[in-house]
Amino acid sequence: MLHMNRVRQAYVEGRPSFGVYARIPSPSTITLLAAAGLDFVRIDMIENHFSPDVLRAMIDAAHAGGITPFVRVPRLDADAIRAALDLGALGVVVPEIESAADLAVAVGAAKLPPLGGRRIGLSGVDGHGQVTAAEYAAWAAEHVMLAVQVETRGAVEDLDAILASPGLDMVLGGRGTLSKEFGMPGQREHPRIREIESTIMQKARAAGKITSVTYFPLRDPAQADVIRGWLARGMHSVCVGTDTDFVHAFRGVVRRFDGAAVPARTEGSA
């Protein structure tokens, strides 16, 4: 079955899309995220080692729940990109590209001819032949997305060439890596880092790309206002944290009761 990409659909309809990164290797977690009303989930393979069977189960759970599955591959790796799409992901996120030449490698792996060299084998994404090659190609051109993170000094310097390259659908920031690349490690919210990310997003939007930033309002409620500011400026898509952020949410709940004491028992009380 050919599924709709909710990120693309939201973009076409002129509304923002929302999602999270998934780092817990469990289809049940994906089902919970779908029930939360999110548009997308980015299954995060950076420093997370999902077996192909687990990755497929998570992607299948996303489709069953009506939430669009992306996979963030660990690095620029044509085989990893092809594998994620063969397992049914509707998009891949490639981190830390350095140049338009890097993007060309990703396009070659993610896109069907004539843009790339991706082939459909026995993975079943075409319904094992129930969908014609022409039908699949037309659908994939619209719904299978390639996203890259512009988060290295090289990518920032080569941004115009990256944005002019065919085959790129979506541009993400990456303030954590940007802060390291520009000599401010760990200072994700430094004004200079925010300025760089803002310039990336402005140029990407002007080039007709879908834009996305990531914030963590469950960890820091003040970031909700930052997200509202981005939306007012036309941000297309927002990642609002990770599936593990429930830890921060419940930690905050428990802290509300710091200092509470149970009344002392009196003689004869149960």
CATH number for 165: 3.20.20.60
Per-residue pLDDT for 252 more than 80?
yes
Contact by Cβ (8 Å): 153, 180: no
Per-residue pLDDT for 36 more than 70?
yes
Segment 97-116 shows an average pLDDT of 96
Angle at the Cα of 225 (from 219 to 227), degrees rounded to 5? 80
For residue 170, what are the contacts with CB-CB under 8 A and spacing of at least 6? 7, 91, 145, 146, 147, 148, 209, 210, 211, 212, 237
Q: What's the pLDDT at 49? A: 82
- Percent of the chain having pLDDT more than 90? 83
> Which is higher by pLDDT, 120 or 108?
108
- Percent of the chain having pLDDT more than 70? 97
Q: Assign 187 a pLDDT band (cuts: 50, 70, 90).
A: very high
> Which is higher by pLDDT, 260 or 205?
205
Q: Is residue 265 one of the residues assigned to a domain? A: no
Q: Is residue 210 one of the residues assigned to a domain? A: yes
Per-residue pLDDT for 192 more than 70?
yes
Per-residue pLDDT for 243 more than 90?
yes
Q: What's the pLDDT at 270? A: 59
- Residue type at position 158: D
Q: What's the pLDDT at 268? A: 64
Q: Assign 1 a pLDDT band (cuts: 50, 70, 90).
A: confident
Report the predicted TM-score, pTM, of the whole model to 2 decimal places. 0.92
Q: What's the pLDDT at 131? A: 82
Number of domains in the chain: 1
Q: Assign 122 a pLDDT band (cuts: 50, 70, 90).
A: low
Q: Is residue 261 one of the residues assigned to a domain? A: no
Segment 121-150 shows an average pLDDT of 86
- Residue type at position 172: L
Q: What's the pLDDT at 269? A: 62
Q: Is residue 246 one of the residues assigned to a domain? A: yes
Q: Is residue 192 one of the residues assigned to a domain? A: yes
**Which helix (H) or strand (E) covers residue 120, if one does?**
none
Q: Is residue 39 one of the residues assigned to a domain? A: yes
Per-residue pLDDT for 79 more than 90?
yes
Q: Is residue 267 one of the residues assigned to a domain? A: no
Q: Is residue 270 one of the residues assigned to a domain? A: no
Q: What's the pLDDT at 16? A: 98
Q: Can you give the residue range of the structural domain that contains 205?
A: 6-254
Q: Assign 261 a pLDDT band (cuts: 50, 70, 90).
A: confident
Average pLDDT, the chain: 93
Segment 84-109 shows an average pLDDT of 97
Segment 71-100 shows an average pLDDT of 96
Q: Assign 265 a pLDDT band (cuts: 50, 70, 90).
A: confident
- Residue type at position 102: D
Contacts 24+ apart (CB under 8 A), 31-36: 31/61, 31/64, 31/65, 33/65, 33/67, 33/243, 34/61, 34/62, 34/64, 34/65, 34/66, 34/67, 35/65
Q: Assign 133 a pLDDT band (cuts: 50, 70, 90).
A: confident
Per-residue pLDDT for 260 more than 90?
no
Kindly list the distances between the CA atom of residue 113 and the CA atoms of 101, 138, 216, 242, in Å, as whole numbers in the listed order.
Answer: 18, 11, 38, 34
SS3 149: strand
Segment 145-156 shows an average pLDDT of 97
Contact by Cβ (8 Å): 58, 72: no
Angle at the Cα of 75 (from 6 to 176), degrees rounded to 5? 80
